Structure 1
Amino acid sequence: MTATSLPSADGDFSRGAGPARPAMPGGLSRVDLALVAGLALVSVALLFWATRDAVLAGGFLAGLAVAAGGLLFVRRLFPAAAAAEAAATDWTMLRQAVAHDDVAIAVTDRGGRLVCANDLFATWMGGFVTPPGLPLDGAGAERLKDAGRGAWRDGEGVVEDLAIGALRLRAQVTRTGQAEDYLVWRFAAQERLDLAGEIVRHLEGPAGRTLGEAGVMAALVSAEGRLRVANQAFLLRALGEADQAHYAGRDAAQMLRLDDAGALYFTNEGDRATPVRLIQVPLAPADSVGPMLLALIDEDIGPADRGTAQSYVETLLSLLPFGLAMVDRDGRFLYMNRAFKRAAGVAEGRLPRYPGDLVVGEDKGPLADMIRRHSSGQQVGGDLSIRLAGQSDDPVSMRVVGVRGLGEAAVLLSLKDSSEESRLKRQVAQQSKMQAVGQLAGGVAHDFNNILTAVLGSCDLMLMRHTPGDSDYDDIQQIRSNANRAASLTRQLLAFSRQQTLRPQILQLPDVISEVSHLLKRLMGDTVELVVHHGRGLGAVRADPVQLEQVIINLAVNARDAMPGGGTMTIETFPVSTAEVRVMGSEIMPPADYSALRISDTGSGIPADVLPKIFEPFFTTKDVGKGTGLGLSTVYGIVKQSAGFIFADSKPGEGASFTVYLPVHRATGDAPALPVPAARPKKSQWGTGTILLVEDEDMVRAVAERALVRAGYNVVAAQQGEEGLERFDAMDKIDLVVSDVVMPVMDGPAMVRAMRAKKPDLPILFMSGYAEEQLRQSIDIDHVAFLPKPFSVAQLAEAVSAALDDAAHRNSDGG
């Protein structure tokens, strides 16, 4: 396999170097040396012609000769530099490194350009397309883009179950290079279990020969009844000695016949044929048509040999990769293979007597009734959803098929080991539920922020007309205080839904705990003892210190409430290495270096049935009115938004512990740290100028308009984006546009783009109840300010003043 390297300067993809010219020891070719010598002689001749001084011309020629000799001497002394230059452009080595038969590989640089890709990548992606913009189905390209961002940040990103048509891929993105300026994108096909393909492989191999030696003739037929594969014993009986070369695709029904008594024979054997018993094992669900496994054994055996025939059938069942069991007419187990025992949770050496012994009490009756109906000998089957006694939370499907010709066996049971599938279904269902609740929470927070903006703004305007001591002043302050508490609740909703704006910094966990320890001591009270232990060798983490303090406080309050009679709360920090993560064997947390924070209590613990639900939103075990159910879900949202992980561990009566793992921050280079910008002075709440205010919420627009007019501005208001454009076209002078982001018909960004097309330097101030980080990713407009809702009258005036000052600075710098 070959690979493609970075396009050269003329735009062509290089697949190797061209033929080299003969080179001299110094690294120059003979043609190059001849050209340099000719130019030197011409220079000497021109100098002699201009000066008519033979001594000067001869000295100049001697100087050129000395310089050339010195250059050749240096090149001979230091050949490694030339070799390094050649090695740096040796694309043959790079192509050989990425050549792979079953992994598609591409390399991109920090500028997002494709550096190298192998041919399998081009085959799967339909050409040399630059990741992450690949032709993936659904939201695959966006998920791959998120993995690329994660790789730039954390060093590695993984995406499962990407699809290009029928091809399913797993992508691994790794940051690499001496300066870590490259991403390596690896795509591997995800294999899925092909049951029919596995049977084909077994029947064509040693398993097929083993069945034949045991007297079992086995074949796999398609949904149309055509023969796909058969072992040698079947082919010998069905086709004879001379006609086995081209059997695939033949009609299997034509190879068998029934006599008047209902006995089954091979057609090829004629009148002296030996009757056979037929076992049909469908490989498709009951409501669909699919391939079928046929197993045949000789019928002409006496009573003394029935045990041998039974062993043949058991041998066949033991070789099949799915769970099968035989039940007699009285409903007792005769045999079950290992796959059935594994799926049903049966211990080795302890065969249950009845199928009802495997299921919960509510399912015993329906299962017994179904086995009784199918034990009449008719070759029909059906599916029944049951709950196994050891896995009562996960219903599984059991197929019951009536059989004949198997001696005492009357019913064949098949059970699929669906524990992994059930686990994945639960994870997908939980993820979908959390995503839906998160979207709902974000929408509720946005609408609630609009209401709170109007309430807070109205309170501020009323307080301007009242002074302390007035009869209404305290009431207005109480309304404002409650509105601020409601605003804190909306921030919790945004944190839970991972839509809040984070301002991460490089920090150490002990420093954060030290900052919040004085508050923790007051929160714990006199009955709870606080113990803090810090480990050595802790790496720095990148997180928002305010939000991290919120995590510690929420977990501490949760621990305090678990110890109403008093106890000890322990806060620990310790490093976790990559090797220790591998030993943990977590399927969620990738191997890396982490700094861990653990908060433990000595309370009553968390019951096992409650533990899986503690991070769900609005779930609480506290009494009505004593908890919102958002404390731990907020913690979970903050930790996940900080690229971390959180796990809870508890045993009833032994307390509980919550462990937060945050990835150790690694510097991406040796560049000096940028100086921290000086804090801006507080902006004035008064100003002049003309402002276009666009807001679809009437109450928010009214409060904002009154606040800006009181601050000295001339305000023109509009209810939505299209009206805002009309007002903009009609205005002779405009200093600033203050607009909501999400509006009906035409949103704020679309309106601003139309305005900027006519006035590119127009200052913009967006206000929204959604998170700034989320909006900036979708807006993609330069030089815009952002004011989060809810805001006070003073905050609005300061934001407007700051936006006007920034616009003035940009204009003066541009001038």
Structure 2
Amino acid sequence: MTSLGLSPVRLAALIAVAAGIAAAVLVLLLTGSWIAAAGFLGGAVVLIGIAAVWRLLAPPRAPEGRAVDWNITRAVAAASTDAVAVTDRAGRLVCANDAYEHLFGDFPTPPALPIGESGVDALSHAGRLAWRDGTATIDRLVVEGSVMIASVTRAGEEADMLVWRFAAAPEQDVTTTAEQLIAGESGERLGQVGIMAALLHSDGRVRAANRALTLRATGGEATIRHRDFAHFLITDSRGLLRFEREGLEGTPLRLLQVPFLEGDDSPILIVLLDDREDAPAIGASASAHVRSLVSLMPFGMALVDRDGRFLQMNDSFVRAASVDPHAPPLYPGDLVVREDKAAVADAIRRFAGGATHSADMAVRLKDHPDEPVALTIAGARGLGDAAVLLSLKDNSEESRLKREVAQATKMQAVGQLAGGVAHDFNNILTAILGHCDLMLMRHSPGDSDYDDIQQIRTNSNRAAGLTRQLLAFSRQQTLRPQVLQLPDVVSEVSNLLKRLMGETVKLDVTHGRNLGPVRADPGQLEQVVVNLAVNARDAIMTAHPRGGGTLTIQTRSVTAAEVRAMGSDILPAADYTTLSVTDTGTGIPADILPKIFEPFFTTKELGKGTGLGLSTVYGIVKQSGGWIFADSRPGQGATFTMYLPVHTAPEAPVLPTKPAIREMPKSEAWAQGTVLLVEDEDMVRAVAERALARQGYTVVTADNGEAALEVLDRIDRPDLLISDVVMPTMDGPTMVRHARERYPDLPVLFMSGYAEEQLRKSIDLDNVAFLPKPFSVQQLWEAARDALGNR
């Protein structure tokens, strides 16, 4: 069929005609009727005609679309000397050639180009015209002092693209030629005969200058491009023009302006002449001396040329920047992380363009992105090809110390806040617990309200536990230190730890040899071990939800020499006994690590942690005179190491601990005597007054120290003085000193929401007892009885 030259349509028509004739002949043979055969043949011809007309009227079938090959587009754009960019219907930059990047310094998206507000408005209007009419042109567009012709064309199979083309205007070609002549060999020949030439932008900035002019104007700089030419010149009282560098004693100059283009924004060609034919020249060895000096500097220095490329790096700079000497970077931006590249490039471009002051920047090196370093940038003058001087200082250690000092300051402030909150909270809990005790005295275990009151009391005791943790964090809790060994403390809680870890977490405990004794509260150290272990268990369960993981507890001795070898600025050089808790959990992210010892900070879900576990650990360790550090890498677990100083003083005898509180028999429940109760909190004073009165005491109250002294003037000598420590107007210790001037043997019972150990430092009184808040009615009774019994 192909050899006959017939198209598929014609072939189908011939087949249809042949089939119609054959069918007509068959009808004629069967019926013998010429009319029937002719009618059948006519119907076939009509059908063939209808099909032909439909084929002619049907729209042509569109060829299958093919994806745009942007590589070809970019190759075509790169072959053009004009700046070309393509944007889509959404205004996004699709592609652009190298000439476009060179013209605008980057790849900005048109029409938002660095061409001034009027230029952007003109380009935006041209873009709208191109979408409507298909093309638009701007005959004169000033870009960085160059006159361009901008054309915008709608393109694409679906007309959904705009092609932006920026070509040099005819007069711009003349300007470019003049610039090349002045800066090239022609400019050198002009300088040899004493002609100094320069091409200026319309605003007076230097676009190009020959070497003779540069040397006379600066005395040795490689170029004066982009600088204000007027700054190099001065005039004397007679109006004579001279170079500012040469002063009023310099050779007078004659300035000629050559008008070779029209227009207010056209470049200006100037020529300077003087009476001398020779021009000063820079010393041949000056650049070599400068480079030798830079190489000898003990701190990191580097020289960069006007194109932003490294000219020289001394050894200190190479070490500070972790530069491979066999493959040095080409640009300073190659040293830093991607986020800092633009800032470094902009700063170098600014100083290479003539900025005279220096600037300090905090940048992050690509090889050490976590620790910023200080980069000092300054403009270089008279250093040959060098235009910018870089100085690099590794301030990672300084930054680390600043963070640690800030963290310590913050923790101290938070600790003071925590102590104050605990004090106020203890006053509230004292009132709640006291009222619960008084109500329980009126209800038996079978009453309907008994269980509710007991539940309130239980939750109040839980809240009291939280305040004790706050006091532990703020290092204001009462400790009873003893000389002990850390392995003994771990052994005491080993069974509890095994139950806490369960069957899925393996507990591995190892102890070093020759461990020195430490002096601490054994109960508080047990809490440290338990809190660290529970925290590690939660991290392990997060990393291994189906089981697995190991918790390692290790004790060992660290000598003062080992501490000095560590180079720590925080840990003093001394002998320590350490306890480390290591888990195989998820690890602690770097941004969270500085916050883990803060109170109420937790990464657990809401309701699954108070955020006081690690803060309590921190407070106990610091109050025991030790140090604790956390080290972790995400995905590699965490290690908490506690350093306690080795105790070298002779062991002091262990004081007997206070017996546990017991229920008083009915025969001991009644008491006699007068009690002066001084408390500034109304709710605490009320519950204490009712409790003491119920026990049988005669109670006289006062709400501050001055009021208590006035009460002492009106009543006989009381049998017991119970007072809060911290009160407005006059505190408790001051009031007691005045009271004992009158009654030297007056028994005193202090009560306070602050810790006894902290208060003992500020109370220089003998024979005083202490009752910490919150306390129950039973504890108040026993404390009052003991104070009267010790009289």
Q: TM-score, normalised by structure 1?
A: 0.59
AA aligned to 2:647 is H
Write out per-residue CA displacement over residues 91-128 of structure 1, whole angstroms, 9 at most, x where no aligned residue: xxxxxxxxxxxxxxxxxxxxxxxxxxxxxxxxxxxxxx
Unaligned ranges ≥5, structure 2: 1-240, 252-277, 542-546
CA contact (8 A) 2:717 2:743 kept: no
* Alignment map for 1:376-455 (pairs within 5 Å): 376-377=353-354, 379-393=356-370, 395=372, 397-455=374-432
Aligned mate of 1:356, from 319, 329, 333: 333
Aligned mates of 1:410, 1:532 — CA distance in 2? 63
Alpha-carbon spacing, 1:394–1:706, altered in 2? closer, same or farther (3 Å): same
Q: Cα offset for 1:345?
A: 4.4
Alpha-carbon spacing, 1:582–1:418, altered in 2? closer, same or farther (3 Å): closer
Alpha-carbon spacing, 1:692–1:515, altered in 2? closer, same or farther (3 Å): same
1:509 match? 486
**What SS class does the counterpart of residue 493 from structure 2 fall into?**
helix
**What SS class does the counterpart of residue 724 from structure 1 fall into?**
helix
* Alignment map for 1:85-100 (pairs within 5 Å): none
User: Which has the higher mean CA deviation after the structures are superposed, 616-625 or 383-392?
Assistant: 383-392
AA aligned to 2:787 is A
* Alignment map for 1:121-136 (pairs within 5 Å): none
Write out per-residue CA displacement over residues 371-397 of structure 1, whole angstroms, 9 at most, x where no aligned residue: 323323353444445444445455555
1:555 match? 532
* Alignment map for 1:95-494 (pairs within 5 Å): 260-263=242-245, 306=284, 308-377=285-354, 379-393=356-370, 395=372, 397-494=374-471
Are 1:786 and 2:770 counterparts? yes
User: Which has the higher mean CA deviation after the structures are superposed, 754-763 or 438-447?
Assistant: 754-763
Are 1:726 and 2:710 counterparts? yes
User: Which has the higher mean CA deviation after the structures are superposed, 445-454 or 554-563?
Assistant: 554-563
Aligned mates of 2:342, 2:549 — CA distance in 1? 50
1:699 match? 683
Q: Cα offset for 1:788?
A: 0.6
Aligned mates of 2:656, 2:473 — CA distance in 1? 31
AA aligned to 1:646 is I
* Alignment map for 1:631-650 (pairs within 5 Å): 631-650=613-632
AA aligned to 1:467 is S
AA aligned to 1:745 is T
Q: TM-score, normalised by structure 2?
A: 0.60
Aligned mate of 1:535, from 504, 508, 512: 512
Alpha-carbon spacing, 1:579–1:339, altered in 2? closer, same or farther (3 Å): closer
Aligned mate of 2:575, from 593, 612, 620: 593
**What SS class does the counterpart of residue 716 from structure 1 fall into?**
strand
CA contact (8 A) 2:508 2:552 kept: yes
Aligned mates of 2:763, 2:414 — CA distance in 1? 24
CA contact (8 A) 2:584 2:638 kept: yes
AA aligned to 1:644 is G
Aligned mates of 1:404, 1:338 — CA distance in 2? 23
**What SS class does the counterpart of residue 788 from structure 2 fall into?**
helix
1:121 match? none
Aligned mates of 2:556, 2:410 — CA distance in 1? 33
**What SS class does the counterpart of residue 498 from structure 1 fall into?**
coil
CA contact (8 A) 1:457 1:703 kept: yes
Alpha-carbon spacing, 1:363–1:300, altered in 2? closer, same or farther (3 Å): farther
Q: Cα offset for 1:566?
A: 3.9
1:79 match? none
Write out per-residue CA displacement over residues 194-245 of structure 1, whole angstroms, 9 at most, x where no aligned residue: xxxxxxxxxxxxxxxxxxxxxxxxxxxxxxxxxxxxxxxxxxxxxxxxxxxx
Aligned mates of 1:342, 1:617 — CA distance in 2? 41
Aligned mates of 2:727, 2:354 — CA distance in 1? 68
Q: Following TM superposition, where does structure 1 have runs of at least 4 consecutive aligned residues deviating by more than 6 angstroms?
A: 299-303, 678-683
Write out per-residue CA displacement over residues 379-426 of structure 1, whole angstroms, 9 at most, x where no aligned residue: 344444544444545555544333332222222333444333222211
Q: Cα offset for 1:634?
A: 1.1
**What SS class does the counterpart of residue 532 from structure 1 fall into?**
strand
Aligned mates of 2:712, 2:479 — CA distance in 1? 34
Q: Cα offset for 1:781?
A: 1.8
Q: Cα offset for 1:579?
A: 4.1
Alpha-carbon spacing, 1:722–1:435, altered in 2? closer, same or farther (3 Å): same
Alpha-carbon spacing, 1:396–1:486, altered in 2? closer, same or farther (3 Å): same
CA contact (8 A) 1:323 1:417 kept: no
Aligned mate of 1:775, from 759, 764, 767: 759
Q: Cα offset for 1:523?
A: 1.9
Aligned mates of 2:394, 2:600 — CA distance in 1? 34
Q: Cα offset for 1:614?
A: 2.8
Alpha-carbon spacing, 1:467–1:341, altered in 2? closer, same or farther (3 Å): same
**What SS class does the counterpart of residue 605 from structure 2 fall into?**
coil
Q: Cα offset for 1:349?
A: 4.7
CA contact (8 A) 2:407 2:594 kept: no
Are 1:741 and 2:725 counterparts? yes
1:799 match? 783
Write out per-residue CA displacement over residues 733-755 of structure 1, whole angstroms, 9 at most, x where no aligned residue: 21111111111121112212222
AA aligned to 1:732 is D
Instruction: Pick the structure with greater CA Rg.
Output: 2
**What SS class does the counterpart of residue 790 from structure 2 fall into?**
helix
**What SS class does the counterpart of residue 333 from structure 2 fall into?**
helix
Q: Cα offset for 1:603?
A: 3.2
Q: Cα offset for 1:677?
A: 4.8
**What SS class does the counterpart of residue 598 from structure 1 fall into?**
strand
CA contact (8 A) 1:342 1:417 kept: no
How many residue pairs match? The answer is: 515
Alpha-carbon spacing, 1:312–1:445, altered in 2? closer, same or farther (3 Å): same
Write out per-residue CA displacement over residues 261-300 of structure 1, whole angstroms, 9 at most, x where no aligned residue: 34469x9xx999xxxxxxxxxxxxxxxxxxxxxxxxxx99
Alpha-carbon spacing, 1:335–1:775, altered in 2? closer, same or farther (3 Å): same
Alpha-carbon spacing, 1:650–1:382, altered in 2? closer, same or farther (3 Å): closer
Unaligned ranges ≥5, structure 1: 1-258, 273-298, 808-815
AA aligned to 1:710 is R
CA contact (8 A) 2:675 2:697 kept: yes
CA contact (8 A) 2:751 2:770 kept: yes
Alpha-carbon spacing, 1:540–1:420, altered in 2? closer, same or farther (3 Å): closer
Q: Cα offset for 1:795?
A: 0.5
Alpha-carbon spacing, 1:349–1:766, altered in 2? closer, same or farther (3 Å): farther
Q: Cα offset for 1:514?
A: 2.6
What is the percent sequence identity of the aligned residues? Answer: 67
